[in-house]
Structure 1
Amino acid sequence: MSAVTLTPRALYEEVAELLRQRIFRRELEPGSWIDEMKLAQEYGISRTPLREAIKVLAAEGLVTMKVRRGAYVTEVSERDLSEVYHLLSLLESDAAGVVAQRATDAQLKELQSLHDKLEKAVDDREKFFEINERFHMKLLAIADNRWRDQMVADLRKVMKLNRHNSLLKAGRVEESLAEHRAVVAALMARNASLAMQRMQEHFANGLEAAA
């Protein structure tokens, strides 16, 4: 039996990531039609891997398939946002409680270091977004529940469709930073119930700003 050579990453996965980033950067606007022929020509590929990539994004909620009309970048409704933030609040507040109880001192220092970087990035929106996400992902990694991690990853992709709107509101970056400060303080005090409460408040305020 001959050996099968596998590529490190399937073509459709690479295309999915390219499209994902274009959606997050608003190069493909919410509600816009995805022109398969144009994109296939742009990337120099057939429409088969492109369609597979679109299926991946549809499964993540970033793309909506419409019968006989094709694929569109998902438009996030107020209900969508409310449901996503509600679930993220439950999942990430639970993770915060776990971290407060179980994290090593070294792991807590990692979170403190990321928060310190966040404090310094308050005037750089893109950097603030990036470090903020790293903080939340590190918190989840320390809590160490792969099922929760997968659910949060998918929900955060949908949340990103609206993230610029939420943090562009006047004063929201500063408010978000203050909320992070309160979460970190509770984690450092190893107060699980307070860490959970502060994380829930963070998401509640985030939803209010995003709506």
Structure 2
Amino acid sequence: MDPSQIAQTALYQEVAERLRQRIFAHELLPGARIDEQALALDYGISRTPLREALKVLASEGLVTLRPRRGCFVTEVSEQDLDDIFPLMAMLEGRCALEATTRAQPEDLARLDALHGQLEQFAESNEIARFFEANQAFHYQIQEMSGNRRLRQVIQDLRKVLKLTRLFSLSIDGRLQQSLVEHAAILAAIKAGDAAGAQAAMHDHILAGRQALARSHVAQELAT
């Protein structure tokens, strides 16, 4: 294989990751048009790897390619959330069940440590850090499940949800409620209660949807 092909592949993947992080950080807002020329100049690259990177992000649902109009950061509608969250609840619930049946002492220790971080960030009301610890907690359960196919589908859906989900933690009481829900999931897994872990995770995911709905109502009342 031509070494230049390897370098080109690595380049568009790196560009995709940079753009992905900018989208997650809301530097590129939902609905915003991607200025390909400005980004190519900013990154010092040609339009080819940039367009390949945008195709990757489009496949993940993070951007939308519109013929003759350009590329836009995906806007997640209320209907999108209604469609995605029940599916996520089912998938992550199954993940928690499988994780419980396969859990090893070292897995439980890592999960315990992550829950400790959640407690710390909830107490100090550090929403962004709680969100990141929350992501790590869920990912640890996905790893414990040993089901890579299930893990991949969940991660793809979570990328889309990450466009909006941080704001649900800003709703009064949601941070503490989320902490309680995580504690229930952890307790069930540690007790070896697979069905209980599945139910706790399922309810936790749907509670996140309810919080986002309240957030949407609050934003509409404020405008």
TM category (shorter chain) comes to over 0.9
Alpha-carbon distance, 1:106 to partner: 2.1
Tell me the amino acid that sits aligned with residue 204 of structure 1. Answer: L
Q: Tell me, what secondary structure is at the counterpart of 1:64?
A: strand
TM-score of the two chains, using structure 2 as the length reference: 0.90
For residue 159 of structure 2, what is the aligned residue in structure 1?
Answer: 157
Aligned partner of 1:74 in structure 2 is: 74
Could you tell me how far apart the structure 2 residues matched to 1:18 and 1:109 are?
Answer: 32
> Percent of aligned pairs with the same residue?
48
How far off its partner does 1:8 sit?
10
Contact 2:128 2:166 in 1 (8 A): no
SS at match of 1:34: coil
Q: In structure 1, what is the equivalent of residue 91 of structure 2? A: 91
Match of 1:204 among 193, 203, 206: 206
Q: Secondary structure at the match of 1:31?
A: coil
Distance in 2, Cα, partners of 1:94 & 1:39: 40
Runs of at least 4 residues off by over 3 Å: 3-9
The aligned counterpart of 1:121 is 121
Confirm or deny that 1:142 pairs with 2:144: yes
Distance 2:137 2:167 in 1: 20
Task: Determine the C-alpha separation between the residues in 2 that align with 1:209 and 1:43.
Answer: 38
> Per-residue deviation at 1:9?
6.2
Residues 115 and 9 (structure 1 numbering): CA distance in 2 closer, same or farther, change over 3 Å?
A: farther
User: Distance between the aligned counterparts of 1:49 and 1:142, measured in 2?
Assistant: 35
1:4 CA displacement: 4.2
Q: 1:172 aligns with which of 153, 168, 174?
A: 174
Which amino acid is 2:146 matched to?
D
Deviations 1:148-205 (A, max 9, x none): 1111111000000001221111111111111001111111111111111110110110
Paired AA for residue 86 in structure 1: P
- Mapped to 1, the partners of 2:72 and 2:8 lie a distance apart of 29
Identify the residue that residue 132 of structure 2 maps to in structure 1.
130
Question: Letter of the aligned partner of 1:202 in structure 2?
Answer: H
Aligned length: 209
Separation in 1, partners of 2:177, 2:9: 40
Name the residue aligned to 2:16. Answer: 16
- Provide the residue aligned with 1:37 in structure 2: 37
Structure 1: 5+ residue stretches without partners: none
Stretches of structure 2 that go unaligned for 5 or more consecutive residues are 214-223
Distance 1:82 1:120 in 2: 31
* Structure-1 residue corresponding to 2:194: 192
Q: Which amino acid aligns with 2:27?
A: E
Give the deviation of 1:132 after TM superposition: 0.7
**Which whole-Å CA distance do the structure 1 matches of 2:166 and 2:189 have between them?**
28
**Distance in 2 between the 1:198 and 1:180 partners?**
8
Question: Whose helix proportion is higher, 1 or 2?
Answer: 2
Match in the other structure for 1:104: 104
Query: What CA deviation, in whole Å up to 9, does each residue of 1:76-132 have, x standing for no partner?
Result: 011111222112111111111112222112211211111111111112112111111
1:61 counterpart = 2:61 = yes
- Residue 27 of structure 2 corresponds to residue 27 of structure 1: yes
